[in-house]
Structure formats: structure tokens, C-alpha cells
């Protein structure tokens, strides 16, 4: 994949594209894969690096969402658990299972979490990642030796998935390319072209590297800009009612000494009614996250001091050695594109989790959802886009579409395992360089 070659494809494309996708995060790239693999002509434009937005700032879990189960949202959990299973099947070089320990300090926690997690396991059906069970106090401490011992009764263990979000994004981007999509980074969509009925029929964009202007016409334009969705919608329809309520989540990175384990910890109830994870991550400990409403989306959000203090304080309630401010090695923040409920916005909601909305301008927006369900979101979106753009009927084929680098046993490549089958060419290139 080469940017100059992508640009020459765009310049040589004189007909309208079937679909132009704006935004190169998990949602946009997933949409590009789905559309291209159905045989549609697809152009995707990203204003910065692919995955620069929220998609590289997540907790990196392929999960059904234990939290939604507690809220009674069984349908949503089942959908996400199925997608978690498909992700593992199609990208085993990037996704792997991870054991999570829920420490119990109160008498009611063992039966409550034990039952809940058993249900979580059962809902996954054939896409299950491992059996949940209760742990004795000794077993709990063997799994997570750094847990606070005072009052610890035992724990419950369950399994979910973990993945490197930025790496998966790069691999799904290659997959979209291999399926025939044209993808350009550092091209910002600045406006839209419209037909005589004031209906969006293309985009205006600018190469932020060279200043080159681009005008690309399309049968359907899909807005997959996550937390920036409203900004783009209002470029097409200034009166568009905002649908996003941006919410920031941060993560702190500590040294491995705070976990000393291959398993993760789930704190099921924080003081703000959420969950907090402490996860082994590339030889370090990743702890997060928060949920702080913010006024607007930014491409480079920054962790607020009160968020950092909240994560430190919550982790300190569960870890024998409470992490301090100067133990923080790194921090990162991401913005959730949460969809407002109610209000005056009429949405074609296909699930409680993600939303597909078509403005009177004809611009289609897909937002909400989560990384884990990106494939299913894309399938829903292209089903709708095919109707909107009167495209030739073509079924979705991504259920079993292997992600670039697919490799059943990538562990044979050691530190390069995450590259999957690309590791072979990495190793070859390394040896050639050594010979020179
Ligand atoms: C703290 C946190 C933790 C999370 N943890 C998990 C998790 O563990 N598991 C999970 O499944 N999900 C998780 N999520 C949710 C998941 O990360 C998001 O749902 C997903 O990444 C959203 O992807 P997106 O493509 O919609 O948005 P983004 O990744 O933000 O992509 C939007 C892109 O649009 C581009 N763009 C914007 N405007 C323009 C324009 N005018 N022209 C061109 N490009 C433009 C941006 O540069 C950006 O790259 C988490 C989210 C947060 C915030």
C-alpha cells in the first residue's frame, strides 16, 4: 500500500465512487472492508494517521461488556460476545484470551459475581473464551499477588479478549486495501458537494501534506468520524441537531510491579458506578478508565488531573502497594462518541449500542458502538447504504473474512507474533540488512 499510488487511483477515478467513507478509525475502516468486499467502489479519507482518534486509545479489550449484563442488556452482550468470537477467529495473531480476576471483599460478592459471570460465559455459547469459576483466597493471590490482602475473601475468574488496538487498525486497513478499497490518510474532508435537490453527492477535501484539493463524487457518503460526527454533519446541514455527547476516558501506564501477573483485575464498582481494569500490557500495567463529559472532541485529548487522581485512588483501594503520581510512566486519553438518547433527533437505530442516522442532507452517519463490534456495525451500515445509494444488492461476506496477517499460531514468531504472517517478511528483511 502506497500513498502516491492511492492518490493516482483517486485522480484517475472519473466516475462517482459507490461509497466515500470519512474517518479512518475502526468504524470507518470496518465500513470500507464491508463495502469493498461486497464489490462496491470505496474511497476512505482520514485527516490524520489511520487510527489517530479513539481507536488507538481504548482499553484494548475484545469483550461482551460485563457491565451491560448488570444493566440487563442481554441482547447487546450476546451480540458483542459473538463479535468477540469472530474477531478471535479472523485475527488470532492480534486477539487473544485473557483471564480476569474479580477480587471479593464482601460476603455477597462471591455468589453475585460467580452467578453473573457464569451467565456471561453461557451467553457466549460456541464463541466462549474459557470457563468462569470462583477462586479461593489463596488461588486469588496466586493469580494476582499484588492485591490488597486485608479483608480479601477470594475472587471470581472469567475470560475475555485482549488486542493491540493500533495494530489491529493497521491490519484492518490493509484488509480493506486488499479487498479493493482506496484509502488516503492526511486528507481532511472540508465540505460537501450537493445535487439540485440539495442532497449530498460528494465530498470536498484537502491533502494536509501538500495542500492539493480533492473533489470526489459518490452515490453515498458515510460519516464515520466518531466524536467529530456532529462537526461533519453540520458542514452538510448547519441546522443538524447534535447527536454526540463526547465523554473522555483515560488510562495510566505503570511498571509491571503493580500487577506481577498474566491475568487482569476487574474492579466491578468504582465510586462513580463504573468498572476499572488493571491489565498486563506489553510488560507494563495499564489501568483505566474514566468517564468524564467534555464539551467538544479534540484529536489530541489530554488526561485531566482529577481523572488521574481518581484512577490512582481507585487502584490504591485494591492494590497492596498503592500507585503514586510519580509511578505513572505514561497516560493517554480518548473520547467516546456516545449517542444522546431522546431529544429531537430521529435515528434509524439498529441496536442500542450503535446508531446509523441519515440527515435530510442525505449524509449517513454511523457512530457509537465499540471496537469489538466494528464488523457488525459495518454490516448494518452497508446494508442501509446499499438501499440509500440504490447499489446493486450484494450480501455481507465479512463473518469469516480473515484479517491481514492471519496466522493460526503466530507465537512461533516470538516478539513479532503480532505481525502475524507479515513476521516472515520482517524477519527476511532483517536478515538481508544483516548480510549487507
Ligand atoms: C477510554 C476508552 C476505552 C475504550 N475501551 C474499549 C474496549 O476496551 N473495547 C472496545 O470494544 N471498545 C472500547 N472503546 C470504544 C472504542 O474505542 C470506540 O468505539 C471506537 O474506537 C470508535 O471508533 P471510530 O472509528 O468511530 O472513531 P475514531 O477512532 O475516533 O475515528 C474517527 C476518525 O475520523 C477522523 N476524522 C474526523 N474528522 C475528519 C474529517 N473532517 N476528515 C477526515 N477524517 C476525519 C479522525 O481523525 C479519526 O481518526 C473505548 C473507548 C474509550 C474512549
Read off φ and ψ for residue 312, nearest 5 degrees. Answer: -60, -45
Q: The CATH number of the domain where 46 resides is what?
A: 3.50.50.60
Whether residue 428 is predicted with pLDDT greater than 90 in this model: the reply is no
Q: Are residues 352 and 301 in the same domain?
A: no
Residue ending a domain, among 302, 337, 372, is 337
Q: Is 234 in the pocket of ligand 1 (CB under 6 A)?
A: no
Distance, C-alpha 272 to centroid of its chain: 23
Q: Are residues 231 and 312 in the same domain?
A: no
Integer Cα distance of 325 and 303 in angstroms: 13
Whether residue 397 is predicted with pLDDT greater than 60 in this model: the reply is yes
For residue 233, is it within any domain? yes
Q: Are residues 254 and 360 in the same domain?
A: no
State which ligand 1 atom lies nearest to the alpha carbon of 53: 30
Integer Cα distance of 124 and 77 in angstroms: 9
Q: Are residues 224 and 288 in the same domain?
A: no
Q: Is 266 in the pocket of ligand 1 (CB under 6 A)?
A: no
Q: The CATH number of the domain where 250 resides is what?
A: 3.30.9.10
Q: Are residues 196 and 327 in the same domain?
A: no
For residue 234, is it within any domain? yes
Tens digits of residue pLDDT in 62-83: 999 888 887 788 989 999 999 9
- The Cα angle at residue 127 between residues 123 and 129, in degrees rounded to 5: 90
Q: Is 163 in the pocket of ligand 1 (CB under 6 A)?
A: no
For residue 98, is it within any domain? no
Of 90, 97, 65, 86, the closest CA to residue 163 belongs to 97
Tens digits of residue pLDDT in 21-57: 999 999 999 999 999 999 999 999 999 999 999 999 9
Question: What is the whole-number distance in angstroms between the Cα of residue 327 and the centre of ligand 1?
Answer: 28
* Residue bearing cell 488531573: 305
Note down the domain range covering 264.
Answer: 244-337
345 and 331 in contact (C-beta within 8 Å)? no
Whether residue 346 is predicted with pLDDT greater than 50 in this model: the reply is no
Q: Are residues 384 and 359 in the same domain?
A: yes
- pLDDT, mean of residues 222-247: 96
For residue 204, is it within any domain? yes
Q: Is 28 in the pocket of ligand 1 (CB under 6 A)?
A: yes
Structural domains of the chain, count: 2
For residue 237, is it within any domain? yes
pLDDT category at 342 given cuts 50, 70, 90 is low
Q: Is 228 in the pocket of ligand 1 (CB under 6 A)?
A: yes
Amino acid at each position: 500500500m502506497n500513498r502516491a499510488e492511492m492518490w493516482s487511483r483517486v485522480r484517475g477515478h472519473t466516475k462517482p465512487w459507490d461509497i466515500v467513507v470519512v474517518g479512518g478509525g475502526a468504524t470507518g475502516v470496518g465500513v470500507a472492508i464491508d463495502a469493498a468486499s461486497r464489490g462496491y467502489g470505496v474511497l476512505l479519507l482520514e485527516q490524520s494517521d489511520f487510527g489517530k482518534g479513539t481507536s488507538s486509545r481504548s482499553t484494548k479489550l475484545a469483550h461482551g461488556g460485563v457491565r451491560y449484563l448488570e444493566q440487563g442488556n442481554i441482547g447487546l452482550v450476546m451480540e458483542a460476545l459473538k463479535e468477540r468470537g469472530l474477531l478471535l477467529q479472523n485475527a488470532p495473531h492480534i486477539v487473544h484470551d485473557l483471564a480476569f480476576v474479580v477480587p471479593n471483599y464482601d460476603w455477597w460478592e462471591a455468589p453475585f459475581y460467580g452467578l453473573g459471570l457464569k451467565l456471561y460465559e453461557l451467553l457466549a455459547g460456541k464463541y466462549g473464551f474459557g470457563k468462569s469459576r470462583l477462586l479461593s483466597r489463596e488461588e486469588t493471590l496466586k493469580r494476582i499477588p499484588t492485591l490488597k490482602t486485608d479483608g480479601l475473601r477470594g475472587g471470581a475468574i472469567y475470560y475475555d479478549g485482549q488486542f493491540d488496538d493500533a495494530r489491529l487498525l493497521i491490519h484492518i486497513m490493509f484488509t480493506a486495501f486488499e479487498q479493493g478499497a482506496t484509502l488516503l490518510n492526511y486528507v481532511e474532508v472540508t465540505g460537501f458537494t450537493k445535487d439540485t435537490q440539495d442532497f449530498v453527492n460528494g465530498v470536498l477535501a484537502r491533502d494536509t501534506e501538500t495542500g492539493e484539493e480533492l473533489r470526489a463524487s459518490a452515490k453515498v457518503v458515510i460519516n464515520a468520524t466518531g466524536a467529530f460526527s456532529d462537526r461533519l454533519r453540520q458542514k452538510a446541514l448547519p441546522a443538524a441537531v447534535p447527536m454526540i455527547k463526547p465523554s473522555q476516558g483515560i488510562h495510566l501506564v505503570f511498571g509491571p510491579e503493580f500487577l506481577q501477573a498474566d491475568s487482569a483485575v476487574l474492579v466491578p464498582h468504582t465510586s462513580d458506578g463504573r468498572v476499572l481494569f488493571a491489565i498486563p500490557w506489553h510488560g507494563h500495567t495499564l489501568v483505566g478508565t474514566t468517564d468524564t463529559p467534555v464539551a467538544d472532541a479534540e484529536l489530541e485529548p489530554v488526561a485531566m488531573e482529577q481523572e488521574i487522581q481518581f484512577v490512582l485512588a481507585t487502584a490504591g483501594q485494591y492494590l497492596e502497594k498503592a500507585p503514586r503520581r510519580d509511578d505513572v510512566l505514561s497516560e493517554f486519553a480518548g473520547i467516546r462518541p456516545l449517542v444522546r438518547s431522546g431529544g429531537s433527533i430521529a435515528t434509524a437505530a439498529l441496536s442500542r449500542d450503535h446508531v446509523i442516522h441519515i440527515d435530510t442532507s442525505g449524509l449517513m452517519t454511523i457512530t457509537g458502538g465499540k471496537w469489538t463490534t466494528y464488523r457488525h456495525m459495518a454490516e448494518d451500515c452497508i446494508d442501509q447504504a446499499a438501499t440509500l445509494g440504490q447499489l446493486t444488492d450484494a450480501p455481507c461476506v465479512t463473518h469469516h473474512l480473515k484479517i491481514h496477517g492471519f496466522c493460526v499460531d503466530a507465537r512461533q514468531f516470538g516478539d513479532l507474533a503480532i505481525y502475524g504472517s507479515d513476521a516472515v517478511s520482517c524477519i527476511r528483511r532483517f536478515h538481508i540488512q544483516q548480510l549487507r
